[in-house]
Amino acid sequence: MHAISFQDVSYEVTQKKILSQITGHFTKGRITTLVGPSGAGKTTLLKLCNGLLTPTTGQIHILNRAYEEYSPPDLRTTVGIALQAAPMIRGTVYDNLALPLTLKKQTLPPQKAAHYLEAVGLSKDICQQDARDLSGGQRQRVSIARTLINEPAILLLDEITSALDQAAADSIEKLIMQLNQQHDVTVIWITHNLEQALRVSDEVWVMIDGKLIQQGTPAILQQPTHQQVQQFTEGALR
């Protein structure tokens, strides 16, 4: 079953084509990584999945339902996203973690906040810290935890370990793989780190210049058969 499928999806802004005719799918219950050079349109594709952008043309299906059948808040809680810049609202770390629930007029019990912080490798002592004072790596981790609070069926991750050292990145990778295996969460993961892609992926999408160049198992990165993919992996691994 497809978690998300695309049929001829394009996205343009003022005459500029950012995504061209994407056709493909993300398999349910799997981890798919999205790789490709900077500016390839990876973030744009994730924002389409979460309804932050709407395709100019083409069809998207989410869990076998047409995209248009979802109300935006429904779509966005079913398909959660951890944004590339890991933005924080003003307030404390707790305010940020509780945000998904506050928006639904619910409260986040402090034990639950502590639990989520622990899961991403942070101490619960930072709950009352101003979120604007967090380090880059701490922000990324709070951002992941915040996205998980909505318990999305599909999880979109945009370069979530780019500011982390290897040990912290490893623990996040473990956490995501665990969520995937134990809770059947489908994961779409943008990474510029090809080794990370090889470690975590069931499937890989290679995007270049707004196009989906190749979709397959991690083998398409290890033994590239496609010329453009080969050029990209040589550049990226060098």
Ligand X SMILES: Nc1ncnc2c1ncn2[C@@H]1O[C@H](COP(=O)(O)OP(=O)(O)OP(=O)(O)O)[C@@H](O)[C@H]1O
Q: Which does 41 bind (CB under 5 to 8 A by kind): Mg ion, ligand X, other proteins, none?
A: ligand X
Examine residue 103 and tell whether it contacts other proteins (CB under 8 A). yes
Q: Helix crossing, 93-102 with 136-149: angle to 10°?
A: 20
Stretch 25-64 residues interacting with ligand X (CB under 6 A): 38-44
Per CB under 8 A, the list member of 1, 23, 39, 54 interacting with other proteins is 54
Name the segment binding ligand X (CB under 6 A); options: 13-21, 88-96, 129-137, 146-154: 13-21
CB 13 → other proteins: shortest distance, Å?
A: 8
Rank residues 44 and 77 by Cβ distance to ligand X and give the closer one. Answer: 44
Comparison of 104 and 183: residue with beta carbon closer to other proteins: 104
Give the residue, chosen from 1, 66, 89, 219, that forms a contact with other proteins under the rule CB under 8 A. Answer: 89
> Which residue lies nearer to Mg ion by CB, 32 or 43?
43
Q: Which does 18 bind (CB under 5 to 8 A by kind): Mg ion, other proteins, ligand X, none?
A: ligand X
**Residue 5 near residue 60 (C-beta atoms within 8 A):** yes
Range 15-19, long-range pairs (CB < 8 A, 24+ positions): 17/210, 18/44, 18/210, 19/44, 19/45, 19/48, 19/55, 19/210, 19/211
Closer CB to other proteins, residue 81 or residue 93? 81
Count CA atoms within 13 Å of residue 108 on its CB side.
25
Quick one: which of 4, 18, 154, 156 contacts ligand X (CB under 6 A)? 18
Please choose, from the candidates 58, 148, 137, 29, the residue with its C-alpha nearest in 3D space to the C-alpha of residue 98. Answer: 148
Residues 108-147 within binding reach of other proteins (CB under 8 A): 146-147
Q: In the chain, helix, strand, coil percent, each to 5?
A: 40, 25, 30
* Residue with Cβ nearer ligand X (40 or 168): 40
- How far is the C-alpha of 34 from the C-alpha of 177, rounded, in Å? 16
Binding positions for ligand X, rule: CB under 6 A? 13, 16, 18, 38-44, 84
Binding positions for other proteins, rule: CB under 8 A? 14, 50-54, 72-74, 76-77, 80-81, 83, 85, 87-90, 99-100, 103-104, 146-147, 150
